[in-house]
Structure 1
């Protein structure tokens, strides 16, 4: 291929997945409340970063902003070099579906759908062609080590297996960014460790991950940590070496 190398979503490899410039978020009063103070941040393609902070620090507001669930009150947010502030709601929704995969503390699986069907639903909502949905869903279930559980219902799965299905669902549309919100919050320590090992494997394959957590042990498994407190990004740097 000639020219700049691109990722599966079509963005230049040298373009940061996340670029925030002076972005902030306020909520109307009286008095107005500043949930996020103006911040600058870049997350490079292929990075594995963790955002850590206590309850009430602004993590949820930050997640909503990065996930295109909310707009900044000011400043700019570029995702894959696209200025998201210039987009209509319909185009923001389409961009979110194509380029962001979400993994939450609660698995949000449909209980009467198999693992395969739960993963395929992400493609339905994204408008993917029907013909290739099952094959793509099986591929990502294999990737997270659950190909043999494709026909199992969530009620027949362990917590770790359900979270792996949720990860597969987030991956099936080949996003630029995997955005994880307290992904081990409902898991015991041994199961949480296996999920963190899965994230490391995904990072090793070149995926960009950003994990939002209050758990320092989870954050330390990332390659970079970002601290948020009182709505301010107060520290960035490398994760603790192990």
Structure 2
């Protein structure tokens, strides 16, 4: 029996009520299988952020349905949606969102506090995640002592610490120079080779080419 897709959008769309109504994302069918690396591209205002918000459980579709790991997200209560988002989706953003007065390890550990991970396992899982992204030697460094690339690696480690089904990245190299961006993309490649499902929202054609499959969104419509 085949496992459920990580992402399964079925005629899912989002329209903001008016007047006038604004169609942010037209009903679409999108499936992302476990272990895929998909990039999402499109011009500014095309609907990429709306798409990200839906698959990241930040917004609910106003039509159709969204199944995450086979779970119908419309059928769960708000607290369960929050738990799904915290345990099954790891977010990586353009801005690193690290606490300046906390070490790399503490920044990763703090993310697990909100996920109610047992205190005894937080430190171990934080160290494992940082080692996985190549920062085993920087566990006790403050963000001010880290390069931009290292700070983004801490952010990726923080996303990985919950052992999510999906790594969801929004312009993950937007604040990095080209050489540093390439090293972060190499890391995402490696994580995907290890089996992680990766979805990257980007306007950068070079970043988009890293994906095994690219989906274009234009004028609120998803194009295969």
| TM-score (structure 2 length as normaliser) | 0.99
Equivalent residue in structure 2 for 1:221, among 194, 210, 215: 210
CA RMSD in angstroms comes to 0.8
Aligned equivalent of 1:170: 159
The correspondence of residues 13-28 of structure 1 with structure 2, limited to 5 A, is 14-28=3-17
Runs of 5+ in structure 1 lacking a partner? Answer: 5-12, 237-242
1:127 equivalenced with 2:141 (yes/no): no
The correspondence of residues 1-242 of structure 1 with structure 2, limited to 5 A, is 14-234=3-223, 236=224
* Superimposed CA distance per residue, residues 138-159 of structure 1 (whole angstroms, 9 cap, x where no aligned partner): 0010000001001000011110
Once the two structures are TM-superposed, the CA of residue 30 in structure 1 deviates from its matched residue by 1.0
Q: 1:36, 1:122 → 2: CA distance?
A: 30
Q: 1:154, 1:233 → 2: CA distance?
A: 38
Aligned equivalent of 1:9: none
SS in 2 for 1:107: coil
SS in 2 for 1:233: strand
Once the two structures are TM-superposed, the CA of residue 122 in structure 1 deviates from its matched residue by 1.2
Q: 2:152, 2:68 → 1: CA distance?
A: 26
Q: 1:27, 1:117 → 2: CA distance?
A: 39
Q: 1:26, 1:193 → 2: CA distance?
A: 36
Runs of 5+ in structure 2 lacking a partner? Answer: none
Q: 1:206, 1:175 → 2: CA distance?
A: 11
Q: 1:54, 1:165 → 2: CA distance?
A: 29
SS in 2 for 1:35: strand
Q: What is the aligned length?
A: 224
| TM-score (structure 1 length as normaliser) | 0.91
Once the two structures are TM-superposed, the CA of residue 86 in structure 1 deviates from its matched residue by 0.8
Q: 2:83, 2:72 → 1: CA distance?
A: 14
Q: 1:150, 1:188 → 2: CA distance?
A: 23
